[in-house]
Each structure stands twice: as C-alpha cells, then as structure tokens.
A and B are shown apart, each in its own frame.
Chain A
Amino acid sequence: MNAPVTTANPTETVRLTLNGRPVAAEVEARTNLVDFVRDTLDVTGTHIGCEHGVCGACTVLVDGEPARSCLTFASACSGASVTTIEGLDDDAIAAELRAAFNREHALQCGFCTPGMLVSSRDLVLRLPEPDEHRIRMGLAGNLCRCTGYAGIVKAVASVIADRRARGIGPRTAERPLGPVGAHAGTDTIVAPLATADAARPAALPTMLAEDFTPAHSFDQSFDLPFPPDQVFAVFGAIREVAACLPGAVVEAMPAPDRVEGGMRLKLGPIATTFRGTARISRDAETRSGVILGAGGDGRSSTQGEIRYRVTEGAAPGTSRVALTVGYTLKGPLAQFSRPGLVREVAGRLIADFSANLDAHLKGAPAPAAASGGVNPIRLVLSLIGARLRALLGRAEP
C-alpha cells in the first residue's frame, strides 16, 4: 500500500506462510508483523490502531491462534503460519460470522472489523455456549468506536448458538507449549546494525515558565544525622548534591543559579537520557530552596520543581529534609498517568540519594558512578514517572 520505505538499516530475509502461501521478504529486525504484512507484502486487510496491544484491530491468527500483530516482530516468527482476514474467505466459521455481522448490523466504519472477526472466530470455537457475559469479556480486547458492541455480541452469540444446535461442540486446538508463532531459534543475528544507535542528545530547553503550576505533586522526606545548617549548606553546592545521584551529569553552570546537565537512567528495559536546565533559588533564613527545571529526552518534555526545606530533626544535631516534588509532563508520554508509581520509585531514589548524601557528609568519597548532576531528583522523577505511567496506561500483557 505505502511506498517502500528506504532505510539505511540492514535487513534480513524473513520466511513465513501467509494465508497458506510461503512468503519471503527483507525486513528490519524492528518490523512488526502487521507492518510486514501490510507494507512489505501489501496485504492490507489487517488494520493497525494503537500499536501497543490494547485496541485489537491488528489481531491475526498466528499458527491458528489469535495474536497481536503489533506486538509480534516479523523476525521473531520465522517459520510461522500467519492468517489474516484475507485468509478467512473460505473459512466456515468466518463465513457464518460475516453473515451474522451483516444481519445484526455489527459493523459500521469497519476499522475494527478484521480484528473483531478474528477474535470472534476464536470465541465461536472455544465458548461452550452463547453466554453474553463471556462474549463481552472475550471481546474486551477489541475496541469498536462506532456501533457499540450490541450488534457484534448478538452476531457472535447467534453463530455460537447455531453451531452448538448443529451439534458442533467447543474445542481448543492441540498445540505445543509456548508463545504461538515462536519456532526454533537459529542463532542468526537478524539485521545487524552497522552503527550503534548513539545517544540522541536532546536540545536543551531553556524556557522556564515563571508561573509554573505542576499537574502532579507529592511529598517525601528523609533524615540525616547532621545539623540543619550543614545540610542546608550542602544543598547549595549543586555539584556535591548531584554527585550523590548516580547517572547525573553536570554539563555547565552558566550562572551561579543556573545549571545545565543530564541524567542517564535505567529502569527495567527503559534506558534513556534526559537533558535539561534548572534555576535554583535559596532562602537561608528558612533553610529552604526551590529548584525549577525543564528537560526532555527528544520525544517528551517535562517541567518540574523541587521545593526543599531543612529543619531540625527529632534528635539534637540531626536534620529532616522535606521535599515537595511537582511536575508536569508534555508530549507522547503525557497521556498516561500513574502517579503512585512515581512515588514508589521516588522513595527508592531518595533513599539512595540520602544514603549517599549521608556518606558524603561523613567525608566518604562520592560513589564512583556519580560524577555530578543537575537537579537530579526532579529530572529522575519526571522521567521515571513518565515511563511508568506510559507502560501502565495500556493493557496488561
């Protein structure tokens, strides 16, 4: 359908069976099955919607079982048998479903229909009876935005009822254990990249809005066995503070109250570098300060602030550091929200940070990996929060 995309990245031949026909084509390692089918093989009946497994539009049969073709890499299903909506023309159940969808007005714009039919066919095969609740649960992974689901559910129920009345019982196909479509590994390296995908430095955002109101905020605090004046003094030495947070790098301090730098972060499969700039203000009278910053990783941007206050701790000569962290996120990640996880990760981070700060105050050398940083807590919190919300905003795999 689309014009062939030329790419500098090397490709590898993937061989599989599509709708009963052996196919072989050059793809990149990152090519999802749905893009392989639609763009490389020009078989466009399969639709692609959310691209993260929630909407169900891309559902196809892989080795006879429904699978998300947006969450399946073509190179990871070499040797598999893939059936798209085009391959169901002569399928008896699909024919009955098409008639039922037609009869029950179960389609309107048609965008969800290929995925709906594949999932419906699976329900017709597996459900023992036309139980509306189970059909609705079974179709929960296929989103329709026009007809509602009443017609679709009726259509599926009618086909199940009809087949059971004809004496055709439910069945679950025999199959080997493991992910459908995953055939023996070959140890071949598919699509070796000639050049490493180097770090993508983002442009430094320089605008710091004066009237910043965070969308999310939370409080954290920790204690240190040093007097408040000493702790407050350390907070004024940005490079020392940053040294207590692994992964942070100070690039420049163009003015005493301004810092530019970045934060390398790794959490689970997430690894990225946020770069940003921050402005610092302090009030010695109240032993408090504000770090206002903005940063980005090239795709998403964030603005945030940390307000801190150092007070007397419970015991004489100790301190309590109270942090209020506020942040706002913009860009592709902003649609997701799970602030609770931000707090959990922040708790772990702040625990590491306070331990390192404690060691630093005791005169221990800074941790080897930490060579300075900027406004580290805000950057990290914004970053981690964004990513965690992103992956939790979708369906559970």
Chain B
Amino acid sequence: MKPAPFRIVRPHDIASAVAQLRQLGDGAKVMAGGQSLGPMLNLRLATPDVVVDISGIAALKSVREEPGHVVYGALVTHADVEDGRVPDVGEHVLRRVAAGIAYRAVRNRGTMGGSLSHADPAADWVNALSALDAAVEIEGPAGRRTLALSAFLTGALSTALGEGEFVVAVRVPKLPASARFGYAKHCRKVGEFAHAVGALVVDPTAGTARALMGAIDAPPLVLADARILFGGAIDGDFAARFDAEAAGAALAAAGLADAVDRHIHVEVLRRAVRQAAGLFSPETRSAA
C-alpha cells in the first residue's frame, strides 16, 4: 500500500509544465491535488515514472469573470467553491455541489480541474458541470484549446486530453436569474462515489430545461432539451409533470439494461427536479 517509486517534478508555471510533459512523454502523469491519483498510486494501480505536480502553479489558482461565464482555474478546490472564495454561477449552485463532495479533508486539496481530468463517471464535478454545459480550457504543446465537457469526457476515466496536454481552467456559463438548478445524488455512505446522480437546469421563463442522469458507468446522459421529460413544455408547474417513464426510456436507450438501476436514476433525477422547483431542500446531502 505504498506507491511504487516515481520521480516528481513541480513546475512553477504553465509553460514549464508543458515543457516538462513534452520532455517526459508517456511515463508522466499530471497531478493536481492528488485526491484521485493518490489512492491509485498508493494501491499501485497507477505506476507512472514521473508525477508532474502542477499544484505549485500560481496561475492555476485563480478565477476570472467574463460576461456570461465564470472561469475557474484548474486548481480551485472543492472547498474554495464551498466556502465562497470564488464567485458562483448562480445562487448557491456550485456551492451546494462542492459541499457534498467526499469529505472536508479531501475537499481542501481536491481540485475542479483534477476531478474533471480524472473523468470518473460518478464524480460530482463531472456530472454537475456537464449539466451546466461547462467547458475546459486545455494547454498543451500546440497551444490552448477549449472543449465542451461533452467532447472532453470520452468514457469512464477517459478524456480527450492529448499527449502533453492538461486542463488549466474550467469555463462555466452563468445561469440567468430566472433559471433554477437541482442536483441530487444517491450514496449509501456519505462521501462515497455516487451510485446515481440527477441534475436539472430549468428556466421556466424561457421554457427551457437541460437534464442529466449520471453515474451510469459512462459519461453522463445529458438531455440538452429536456422538455420531453415534462410533457413537451416547461412552465412554472414543470415538477408536477415530470415524466418518469420518459426518463427511464432515455436511460434504456443509453444502454442501462437493469430496471432497478434505471428506477434509482430516475428517482434521483426526480429529486433534482423537485429541488429545482423549490420542493426539496438542497441542504439534504450537502451539510458536511
């Protein structure tokens, strides 16, 4: 239960990290807060030759607001979001998600960029930020590019990151004042990876909804136009018209063959829907 030997490099800026990664090649693994990679190193599931520890890069510990977006540096931690040290994209939207990730001691070091790069299908940021249609900014040998999460997450633990590339920032669209957000997950033990995640971004004024069902052992199922889950239209009474059968059918079409599994995911989405409608306390699972 001790890691296999590796070297560690601690680049002080982004350019230096890119250069190091280019030079080190395939045997190198980027580490941010190390809260996902750490267990894999300790269990010797991952045995990189070199760990490139980017946690000393000041430029990644930043946040900036643009019209319509908040851009979080990759090293912004779950606790930074939970405590409100960075602006949220809507009232208590990311804060409530952050507060429910793992445990406080993990949130103090785990990062948004690291969690997305690890691409665990059951991870909170993978799901919540997909529901919010976020994108990642990627730095690499060919310069900087931006990818929507839907294109970035290619499979369980798999991303579109190329050789020498790493995530430097996460772009999250701000929610309009009329929009509401619901996020629910099912865990048998507080802090463990979710067995099911449901999320809904709904704007009754604009008549739009975007729904997500995640922790399906693959990148989350996102319904960019989720009106089909609400009888075809969104209005102020959307929660009452939540169509569990339509949600279940979408899961079945996505390959979830087990009826019990589909039921759990649909019910968790229903909780997210009720939460978005103000019928279900967002604090239920995010008090730690």
Contacts and interface: CB of A to CB of B under 8 A. Distances in A.
A133 interface: yes
Interface string A118-136: 1100100000000101101
Contact of B217 (A53, A187, A268, A344): A344
Interface string A377-397: 000000000011011101111
A260 to B, nearest CB: 23
B145 interface: no
Contacts of A268: 46, 118-119, 157-158
A70 B76 contact: no
A70 B191 contact: no
Contacts of A188: 9-10
A52 B40 CA distance: 8
A136 B9 CA distance: 39
Given A71-B109, A179-B32, A190-B9, A390 B43 contact: yes
Contacts of B20: 187
A184 B120 contact: no
Given A192-B7, A269-B48, A271-B46, A186 B108 contact: no
Interface in B3-37: 3-13, 16, 20, 27, 29, 31-37
Interface stretch (B55-63, B129-137, B166-174, B227-235): B55-63
Interface string B143-160: 000000000000111100
Interface in A151-196: 172, 175-193, 196
Contacts, number: 282
Interface residues of A, number: 82
Contacts of A347: 255
A261 to B, nearest CB: 21
B121 interface: yes
Q: How large is the interface on B (under 10, 10 to 19, 20 to 34, 35 or more residues)?
A: 35 or more
A270 B40 contact: yes
Interface in B85-127: 85-86, 101-106, 108-111, 115, 118-124
Contacts of A388: 156-157
B61 A267 contact: no
Contacts of A348: 155
B183 to A, nearest CB: 14
B208 interface: no
A392 to B, nearest CB: 6
B86 A177 contact: yes
Given A53-B35, A76-B10, A177 B109 contact: no
14 contacts: A29-B5, A70-B42, A131-B287, A133-B287, A140-B191, A178-B73, A179-B55, A185-B16, A185-B53, A193-B49, A391-B45, A396-B101, A396-B122, A397-B39
Interface of B: 1-13, 16, 20, 27, 29, 31-49, 51, 53-58, 60-63, 73, 75-77, 79-80, 83, 85-86, 101-106, 108-111, 115, 118-124, 155-158, 189-194, 216-218, 255, 261, 287-288
Top 4 closest pairs, chain A to chain B, by CB: A141-B103, A185-B56, A397-B35, A71-B38
Interface of A: 9, 28-30, 32, 35, 51-53, 56, 59, 62, 65-68, 70-73, 75-76, 78, 118-119, 122, 131, 133-134, 136-138, 140-142, 172, 175-193, 196-197, 267-272, 299, 332, 338, 340-341, 343-345, 347-348, 387-388, 390-392, 394-397
